[in-house]
Structure 1
Amino acid sequence: MRTLATLVGLGCTALLATGCQPQAVCPAIAPAPVVALTVAREYTESVKTLRLKACQDGRCTEADLELYPGSTTVDQGCEPGPDGNDRPCSATSSPDGTLTGMLMLERLTESPIEASVGGTDTSGLPLPVRTLTFTPRVAYPYGEQCGRFISAGVLLDADGLRAV
């Protein structure tokens, strides 16, 4: 009986000790499996419509893109609090003259993507078809314990496509 009580006591102690270890707090969010396209500010006047095709791991997805005005983040800074620590910081977005669109994929992996984009210019004439093979970016914005985020983005300008 004493042995059983000792074992139960040791088990409870072990549970309490492991329960007090700091645990990583990971946000319950995941990036969307998309290829993001940005039209450079200098090239937006030439673009009326765009169609993006992306192939990865033997699967291809293609669609006309809905283009939206792009923006950039403007840091509004932090003000020191009464105890010397920073108060919450803030930022806002500001139009940057670009256009953006996204192509939703079934899934996004770390494998290379072959992308091609074509469309029409503001006169209705076809734009040159541009192609690019690139590797998506992998990041751990919340630490490796929270898993990886894979992102894929391209920039279209008068010279063609490039990965961003």
Structure 2
Amino acid sequence: MGRPGLLLALITAVVSLPACGPVPGACPMIAQATAVSVTVSADYAAHVSRLHLRACQDGSCKEGDLELRPGSASIDPGCAGEFCSATASPDGTLVGILMLDTLTESPMAITASGAAADGSTLPVRTLEFHPPAAYPFGKQCGKVVSASVTLDSSGLHPRA
């Protein structure tokens, strides 16, 4: 094999080397919401008419009244051939979101207050926790930090 043939073989080998290793999948183009989500448990939802949330992290606080909406659970009706679906079914919970400027894995302090259905004041509930990070689309796509809590008659709890 002459020099041109050797050069062509070498270029072909170098160009095809990346094809021999694992090829990472495409990352979804989904933006992460910087927010705290609150779920009021089904057994406590009837007692809550208004909810105010204050979230503090890294020396910065954000607070506001939450717009509470009915929550739902996903129901899997199964698959028909290669097509699968899910439906949402009301589950008696209430859900609300407080948008934040930033969200990190550092400790977060949350205070919930509000009004009960009978007009009385709800007990003030506090929680300090670390928002967890996960890699739902693989490490190559970056981490997603989430801050989700549940409010019930005994207080605020981090939601897994």
Q: With structure 2 as the length reference, what TM-score do the two structures score?
A: 0.88
Q: Is the 8 A contact 1:75 1:90 kept in 2?
A: yes
User: Could you tell me how far 1:93 is from its partner in structure 2?
Assistant: 0.5
Alignment map for 1:3-152 (pairs within 5 Å):
10-11=10-11, 13-18=13-18, 21=21, 22-79=23-80, 81=81, 87-152=82-147
The answer to whether the 8 Å contact 2:24/2:140 transfers is: no
Distance in 2, matches of 1:4 and 1:64, equals: 73
Return the alpha-carbon distance in structure 2 between the equivalents of residues 77 and 131 of structure 1.
40
Runs of 4+ that moved beyond 3 A:
2-13
**Runs (5+) with no aligned partner, structure 2:** none
Q: SS at 2:15's partner residue?
A: helix
2:46 is paired with a residue of what secondary structure?
helix
Aligned length: 157
Using the TM superposition, give the Cα deviation of residue 23 of structure 1 relative to its aligned residue in structure 2, in angstroms. 3.1
In the superposition, the TM-score normalised over structure 1's length comes to: 0.86
**TM-superposed deviation, 1:19:** 5.5
Counterpart-to-counterpart distance in 2, 1:58 and 1:5: 65
Residues 116, 20 of structure 1: alpha-carbon distance in 2 compared, 3 angstrom cutoff: same
